[in-house]
Each structure stands twice: as structure tokens, then as C-alpha cells.
Amino acid sequence: MKSTRKFIAAGLAVATMIGVAGCGNGETAQEENPTSIKIWHYEEATTAQGKAWDKAIEIFEKETGVKVEFEKKAFEQIRQNASQILNSDDAPDVMEYNKGNATAGLLASQGLLTNLNDYVSQYGWDKIITGSLADTGKYNEQGVMGSGDWYGITNYGEDCLLYFNQDMFDKYGIAIPTTFDELEDAMAKFKENGVTALSVGSAEYPTQHLWWQLVLSKADDKFLKAYEMYDGKVDWNSEPVTYATEKIKEWVDKGYISKDSTNLKAEDAGQNFMTGVNPIFFSGTWWHARFKEEAKGLNSTYAKFPDTKKIVGSSGNVWVIPENSKKKDLAAKFINITLGKEVQNYMAEQGGLAINADTDSIPDEDTKKFVAQFDEAVKEDQLGFYPDWPTSTFYDELNASLQELVNGTADVKTVLGQMEDNYNKGLEASGITVE
């Protein structure tokens, strides 16, 4: 590894205050015979994860006699306030949290998360979570993912797909594309018919995920390791980033992406696809169950992004146990239930990408196919992670730069310059130096 992280003063202050930087579980005094446990996550009740975790809560309460105090939080609420939450008396005992260096890795390096190594050994989680799925659960002392100790445990996977509105394709006599050239041809034909092809939302993650997929279509492992794991310097004039940024600009200029999408959020983009405003939506597998559940009249299909070896995706978000929790054993038991066959099979049946399910037993063929595409991605080492992981501020900064690109207030060169500056400043602020 060609990087180091020097703990910044704020990180040291937090670690010193709670006295657990780099420590294993058991440092915080544990409550004897607890009668309740506090669990937070931010999945919608209609998603496969939301349904499966509701079942896990039922099983947990039945097996332990302990009441679960569940609170659903907003993704942005947790993303923006995690450090403050975990360093307070209001912290939950187990929480869904974003994986990656700038999120789980940063909190682990600050001593805010429990070292889960003992629980991994006790329950055998490392026999279930392997390969690239394990990368986002393990972090070294610098908070860099892929090695070191276990701080997060996933129980599902996710990748980003192209979703197609079959009825809109049929209406205009356009074939579902299977190559990149066919994808651009299809978008051009929709434009000829007065339809904006791509549903995006630049105020949140959809546009940056699309940008990253275009980056991945030209990136090699050397670029990916430099960008995500600080193994070498990122060349912001290299083909992957210049191609992706130019392609987004081209698609806006050609009318495949609306300039009015700059203020749209992810939910807006998803709704525009579900209601037939746009026939193509590039986004995560977390939408699949919602499309089936909420958009009964939507005749949709999906496919991996064409002509690329790497795709946007990774393990799902991770369960973490705050170091301040006084009920860590119970928290670990709940995590283990979410990895058990009953919950995993149920998640898969609901269309979720469960990582420990008996997929052959899934009765619905579409769901079985959906789960199989992710299994193939893991087997073929296709998962290319996410673009905002390197720094704690890069998510908002990427969105801001891509908003300017889409609305035309900044050109490609300016946007790439912004990205480079923000990336480097983020690493510097985190105490990371790259040789």
C-alpha cells in the first residue's frame, strides 16, 4: 500500500475522549440482562432489505425475549451526522452504515466502531462474507478498506443496472439495447420522438453513479486501486475520467439527459422512471423490489451496463456496532440472525441480493435471475465500488461538479479540475498521503 493516514487532531480528540482507538470489543462496560436493544437503519419498508430486517427483528425478539426499539432514519441523516451520533448517549446498539474509506473506515480509525473480530470468529461470518464482499467490512489502522480488522458486516449485495421501460420501447419500435452503441442509438431514437431517454438526478447519487460507470468502462485495476485505496496517485487527465465526463456532457448536449435534472433527487429520478417520464434509468438494485411493489403497471426489464468489465457495486451497507454500545453481544446476535438462512432466503424471495440464500429454492424465475446476475458479478470480480468513497466530503462535491456540468455552467476541463482539487483536499484533510 502506497499511502498513510496521519490522524488529524479531531480524530485524535474523539479517540482519546472515548479511549478506544483501535481496541476490540468489550472496552465499554456491558449492561447485565438488558431488556431492550436499539436498532437503526434507513431502508424503506417496501424494499427487500426492509422486509427481511423486519423479519429478523421478529425472530430476535422471539428468541431472546428482548424488545427491539427500532428507528428508521434517512440516508442523508446518517451520512451527515454519524460521528456526532456515535459519540453521544443517543447512539444505537447496532446501525446500518455506509461502507467505504470515508465513512465506515473513517469512524473505525477514530475508535467509534467496535472491532468485530471476536464475533466474526464466534459466528463464522468470514465463511459467508468473502472476496470483494469482505473488502468493505475490513479496515486497517488508517481506515483504508480491504485489509485489517472487521468493523462492518454486510448481509446483502448491490450493483447498478440499466432499467428499461419495455412498453415505451415497444411504443416507439425501439429494441432493448445489448451493446453500448445500441444504447446510444436507442437514446437517439427516443430523442427523435421527443422523449428524454435517461432519468437522472444530479442533486443526489444517480448522476455520479452513471459517471462512475462510464469511468469503469475505461478503467483498469491500477486506476481503481489508486482511486479507491490510495495505491498510487490518480491521474485526472487519464482516459477513464476524461471519457466519462465528456460523455455526460455529450449526452446532455444531445438531449439524452435533461438540463433540468440538476435539482432532482434520487427519489425524483426513480419516480420519473416508474411513471413513464423517462424510459431508461441507471441505478441500484435496491430499486428492483420497489418497482415490483409500487409500480404495478410498469413493465420493466433490466441488464448490466454493456461493454464493460467492471460495474458499479459492492457489498451492501454494513451493520456496525458503536463502541459506546453497552449491549454488544445482543447486537452481534441480531447481526447473525440477518445472515441466517431464514432471513436470507426471505430477502432473496423479495428480490434482494442476499449473500447467504439458497437461490435454487426461489420460486419466482425473475427474482432468481435477478439474484444470479449479482452472484455472477461477484464470481467474475466485476464490482467496481462507488465514486464517493475516497473522502468524507466527496459525495457532495461530486454532485456539485456534475450539477454544473449538466446545467452548463462549467465545462469538462473545469469540472475535472474541481474533482481533482476536491479529491486531493479530502485526502489531505483526512491525513492521507499518497506516494
DSSP state letter for 354: B
> Quick one: pLDDT band at residue 47, thresholds 50, 70, 90?
confident
Average pLDDT over residues 4-19: 38
For residue range 175-189, list pLDDT tens digits in order.
999 999 999 999 999
Residue ranges of domains in the chain: 3-156+316-357, 159-311+386-434
What's the pLDDT at 18? 32
Helix axes 48-64, 341-349, angle to 10 degrees: 150
How far apart are alpha carbons 314 and 158 in whole angstroms?
A: 6
Residue pair 361/345 in contact by the 8 Å Cβ criterion: yes
pLDDT of residue 13 exceeding 90: no
| Beta carbons of 312 and 212 less than 8 angstroms apart | yes
pLDDT 10s digits, 146-176:
999 999 999 999 999 999 999 999 999 999 9
Q: Cα–Cα–Cα angle for 94, 97, 103, nearest 5°?
A: 130
Looking at CATH, the fold of the domain delimited by 3-156+316-357 is given as D-Maltodextrin-Binding Protein; domain 2 (3.40.190)
Instruction: Tell me how many degrees the CA angle 405-406-408 measures, rounded to the nearest 5.
Output: 65
Query: What pLDDT was estimated at residue 89?
Result: 85
What topology does CATH give the domain 159-311+386-434? Answer: D-Maltodextrin-Binding Protein; domain 2 (3.40.190)
| DSSP letter (8 states) at residue 322 | B
What angle (nearest 5°) sits at the alpha carbon of residue 356, between those of residues 287 and 151? 85
The model's pTM is 0.84
Q: Is the pLDDT of residue 20 over 80?
A: no
CB 127, CB 254: distance < 8 Å: no
Confidence tier at 27 by pLDDT (50, 70, 90): low
Given a cut of 60, whether residue 4 has pLDDT beyond it is: no
End-to-end CA distance of the chain, in Å?
Answer: 9
Least Cα distance to 113 among 103, 128, 126, 127 occurs for: 103
- Residue 221 is predicted with a pLDDT of 93
Residues 117-139: tens digit of each pLDDT: 999 999 999 999 998 899 999 99
76 vs 295: CA distance, rounded Å = 25
- pLDDT(2) > 80: no
289-331 residue pLDDT tens: 889 888 989 999 999 999 999 999 999 999 999 999 999 999 9
Residue 3's pLDDT is 54
Rounded Cα–Cα distance for residues 305 and 218 (Å): 13
pLDDT > 70? residue 265 = yes
pLDDT reported for residue 167: 98
Q: What is the pLDDT of residue 298?
A: 94
Which whole number is the average pLDDT over 387-408? Answer: 96
| Residue 78, pLDDT score | 85
Longest pairwise C-alpha distance within the chain: 68
- Helix and strand numbers, DSSP H then E, in the chain: 18, 13
| pLDDT band at residue 273 under the 50/70/90 scheme | very high
pLDDT-above-70 percentage for the chain:
94
Alpha-carbon gap, residue 241 to 235, rounded angstroms = 9
Question: Would you say the CATH fold of 159-311+386-434 matches that of 3-156+316-357?
Answer: yes
pLDDT band at 260 (very low <50, low <70, confident <90, very high): very high
The C-alpha R_g of the chain, in whole angstroms, comes to 22
